[in-house]
Each structure stands twice: as C-alpha cells, then as structure tokens.
Amino acid sequence: GENVEQHPSTLSVQEGDSAVIKCTYSDSASNYFPWYKQELGKGPQLIIDIRSNVGEKKDQRIAVTLNKTAKHFSLHITETQPEDSAVYFCAAPFTGGGNKLTFGTGTQLKVEL
Amino acid sequence: SQTIHQWPATLVQPVGSPLSLECTVEGTSNPNLYWYRQAAGRGLQLLFYSVGIGQISSEVPQNLSASRPQDRQFILSSKKLLLSDSGFYLCAWSGRGWGTEMPQHFGDGTRLSIL
C-alpha cells in the first residue's frame, strides 16, 4: 500500500520566517495530496491540496509544491505568525483508490515571538 | 454549507464496558464516511470506511465495529472496551468523486480514556 513519510517531526521558527514541511510517497499512481492543520483538541482542518496535473498551488501565505518524478510534495508557509503554530499532516491516497487516505506522522510547528 | 458533528467530546469508560460514538453530517447527501483513531503524538489510522447505508469496510482488525443506519449517520461501537482502545477518535466525510479523489473533512473528535 501507499507509504507516506513526513519530515521534520518538529519545527521551530521565528515569527515572520518561512516554514517548509516535506513528504514523500511511494505509489507513482497517486494523484491527490492534501495538507491538514490540527490545533490542540480539534480535528484536522484541510488547508490546501494539490492534484498531480499541477506542480504548485498557492493560497495567500500557504503554498504546496509537487514533484511527481521524485515522488515528494512540500508545504510552504511564508511570513509565519503565532497562530500558525499547530500540527500539520500530509496525506496521499491509498493504493487502489476508494477515496481513502494514508497520513504522514505529522509535524509540530512552533512559531516563536 | 456542510457540517459534521461528533459526540461526546470526551468520554471516560471502564475496561470491559460498551461504547457508542456517533457522527452526523449535514448539508450533503450520499457522503463517504470514515472513522479514524489518533494515538497521542501520532498520525491518523483509518479504522472504517463507508460508501453507503449498511456498507462498512474495516481497515484494521480490532475490538471495534461500525454501522451506518442512515445516510448521514456513522456509529462506532464496542461490546467490551480494552485499555488499548484509548485514543482520539475522529469522524470524517467526503463527497463522491467518481474516480477523482475528494477532500475529507473532519469533525472535532472524541477523546476516549479507558480506566
């Protein structure tokens, strides 16, 4: 089945700096890659996703890039703010489809003042 | 707009007791429904998946079961809870993509502690 690896597990940045989280996947047929933000005690919230027919997608301070050849995708957060502090998860579809996702192990992002 | 509700938010149960967690979705019809478990500091593990009323797929062998008695209602159950059932349980829904992956949207979860 699909294997998703996420790095780093923790990331600390100064307010205003950029943060980058990377994920790799194993199934070359995967075509959909969402990113979720989870705040303490809450469920994950979809913040951005990308499909395999594009290499980059941007939404204000958040962007996702996809390299299909290398089978990795990254989340970029620019001008970080304290409210960006949370756990971020990447995901990729299960091998064989069915609209099921395999999640990475998460990155704890801390934005320091 | 679509909303998803889970309850209760927190639950403390003794070992060996039964369990029933409920999830309902509003504002959509024929959703795919999912139950996930999240251990502390870990990622999300898919437990059950449903494409319609009475249609349940189990992704991992375990002490839990799921049912979908109505189109937008998904229930997670156990007859006898184990200590290892402790965790954060999340329900999610997605639309039908018919060959295209659709985003999943999560509820705010139930924190289950087994004593």
- Each residue of A25-84: pLDDT tens digit? 998 888 899 999 999 989 999 999 999 888 999 999 999 999 999 999 999 999 999 999
Q: How confident is the model at residue A97 (pLDDT cuts 50, 70, 90)?
A: low
Cβ–Cβ of A34/B103 closer than 8 Å? Answer: yes
Per residue in B53-72, pLDDT (tens digit) is: 999 999 887 889 999 999 99
Q: Which residues of A fall within a CB distance of 8 Å from B101?
A: 31-32, 51, 93, 97, 99
How many C-beta neighbours within 10 Å does residue A63 have? 17
Question: Which three-class secondary structure state does DSSP give residue B39?
Answer: coil
In this predicted structure, what is the pLDDT of residue A79?
A: 98
Average pLDDT, rounded, for chain B: 93
B105, A101: Cβ pair inside 8 Å?
no
Q: Within an 8 Å CB–CB cutoff, is residue A81 touching chain B?
A: no
pLDDT greater than 90 at residue A17: yes
CA separation, residue A91 to residues A81, A102, B8, B88, B112 (Å): 24, 5, 27, 18, 24
Share of chain B above pLDDT 70, in %: 97
CA–CA distances in Å: residue A95 to residues A31, A56, A101, B81? 11, 23, 9, 31
Residues of B in contact with A31 (CB under 8 A): 101
| Residue A75: predicted pLDDT | 98
Selected for mutation to probe chain A from B32, B44, B46, B60 (highest A CB count within 10 Å) is B44
A42 close contact with B: CB closer than 8 A = yes
Which structure tokens are listed for A74?
């990254």
pLDDT band at A11; cut points 50, 70, 90: very high
Q: Please count the residue pairs, one from chain A and one from chain B, whose beta carbons lie less than 8 angstroms apart.
A: 56
**Contact between chains at A106 and B43 (C-beta distance less than 8 A):** yes
Dihedral (CA of B24, A104, A42, B17) sign: positive
Give the per-residue pLDDT at A95: 74
| Residues of chain A neighbouring B23 (CB-CB closer than 8 A) | none
Is 80 exceeded by the pLDDT of residue B38? yes
Please, which pLDDT band fits residue B47 given cuts at 50, 70 and 90?
very high
